[in-house]
Amino acid sequence: MWLFGNSKKLEGEEPTGETEILENQEQKKEAGERVEIQINTMADFLKSLKWSYDLAEDEETKRQVAHQIIKIEMGINGTGYSAEDVKVENTGDGVLGLYSPGSGQTAISRDLLEDFDTSKQLIKHVLVHEGMHKKGIHDEGVAEIKTAKKLSDGLGFYVGEQQRAKSAFYREGIDKALELYDIERPDELFEYYLQVELEKNFQGKKSRLEKIKGNERSRELEVSKQEEKIRKGFKKGADELFDKLKQRNYSIKKRTREILVELAK
C-alpha cells in the first residue's frame, strides 16, 4: 500500500543524508580523485544523477539516467517546491513522501527517485499532496481530494479516507468543506458543519423544537444526543481538524445548545 502524508518523522530532526562516491571523468583522467556528493535534497539527487550520466560508459545507461533526470525535473515543476526545498529520505517500505508540521520540512522517498519505472505524474502527485499538508490540510482524505482536483492525473490514494470525507460533508458540500478547512482555524469549518447539520436534523420537526423550547430536561437530552452525532460525523471526515478543535477548548455542547435554542424560537 502506497502511503504519504502528514508525518512526525522529520520533526526536530536534522536530515541525515547519504553519500554517493562518484568519480569525475576529468579528474579521473588527471589524478583519479573521487568526488563526494551528500544527498540531502532533490537538488543533490539530481546532481548525483548528472554525475552518473557523465560517468556512464554505455548508451542505454545514459538514456535511462537522462530520462530519470527529465522525469524528476518535470515532476517538481508546478508543485510550489523547488528541488532545494524537498529533502530526500529513506522513508521505508511504501512511504512515498512526508511532511512535518513541526519543522515545516517536506521529504520524498529516495526509493521513488531511484526507480526508473517512476513516472513524473507520481512524483508531482506526491509533492502536491505534501504541499496540501504544508498549506494546513492535515487530514489525508481532504488533502487527497484537493490534490486530485488540482492534478486530474488519474492517480488515487487514500480512497477510503476520501470517501469518508465526502460522506461526512455531504450536506455541507465537499467543495464548501475544502474551502473552509484550515488547521489553524478549525472552528470555521466546524461552526458551519454544526449549523447545517442541526438545521437539517430539525427541518420540519416543529414538535421536537417546541419541547426544546418549553422543557429544560428535553432540551438537555436533545443537546447531548445531537452533540454525540455531530462529534462522530465530523471526526469521520476530518479527524485531525477535530483534534485541533479540542485543543482550543471549543465547547461543542455549548454551541449545540445555543443553536438549538435559536432554532426553537
pLDDT in tens, 124-154: 999 999 999 999 999 999 999 999 999 989 8
Q: Which of 87, 113, 135 is the last residue of a domain?
A: 135
Position 128 in a domain? yes
Position 146 in a domain? no
Position 150 in a domain? no
Residue 126 domain boundaries: 3-135
For residue 252, what is its C-alpha cell? 461543542
Residues 131 and 182 in one domain: no
For 235-251, what is each residue's pLDDT tens digit? 999 999 999 999 998 99
Residues 8 and 131 in one domain: yes
User: Across residues 24-45, what is the average pLDDT?
Assistant: 66
Q: Quick one: pLDDT at residue 177?
A: 97
Statement: residue 20 has pLDDT above 50: no
Residues 217 and 127 in one domain: no
**Is 82 in contact with 76 (CB distance < 8 Å)?**
yes
What's the mean per-residue pLDDT of the chain? Answer: 87
How confident is residue 215, by pLDDT bands cut at 50, 70 and 90?
A: confident
Residues 96 and 180 in one domain: no
How confident is residue 93, by pLDDT bands cut at 50, 70 and 90?
A: confident
Position 167 in a domain? no
Statement: residue 29 has pLDDT above 80: no
Statement: residue 56 has pLDDT above 60: yes
Residues 12 and 106 in one domain: yes
Q: Quick one: pLDDT at residue 216?
A: 85
Range from 24-28, 71-75, 86-90, 164-168 carrying the lowest mean pLDDT: 24-28
Residues 101 and 19 in one domain: yes
Position 162 in a domain? no
Q: Which of 86, 108, 135 is the last residue of a domain?
A: 135
Residues 199 and 125 in one domain: no
Q: Quick one: pLDDT at residue 15?
A: 38
How confident is residue 34, by pLDDT bands cut at 50, 70 and 90?
A: low
For 156-199, what is each residue's pLDDT tens digit? 899 999 999 999 999 999 999 999 999 999 999 999 999 999 99
- Distance, in Å, from the CA atom of 133 to the CA atom of 118, rounded to the nearest integer, reads 23
Statement: residue 11 has pLDDT above 50: no
Residues 129 and 227 in one domain: no
Residues 124 and 181 in one domain: no
Statement: residue 9 has pLDDT above 70: no
Position 156 in a domain? no
Residues 117 and 200 in one domain: no
- Distance, in Å, from the CA atom of 127 to the CA atom of 125, rounded to the nearest integer, reads 5
Residues 114 and 179 in one domain: no
Position 178 in a domain? yes
- For 68-95, give one letter per residue: b (16+ CB within 10 A) or e: bbebbeebbeebebebebbbbbebeeeb
Rounded to 5°, angle at Cα 21 from 33 and 97: 155
Residues 107 and 180 in one domain: no
How many other CB atoms are there within 10 angstroms of residue 26's CB atom?
10
Position 60 in a domain? yes
Q: Which of 80, 105, 135 is the last residue of a domain?
A: 135
How confident is residue 37, by pLDDT bands cut at 50, 70 and 90?
A: confident
Total number of residues shown for the chain? 265
φ, ψ of residue 106 to 5 degrees: the values are -110, 140
**Structural domain tally of the chain?**
2
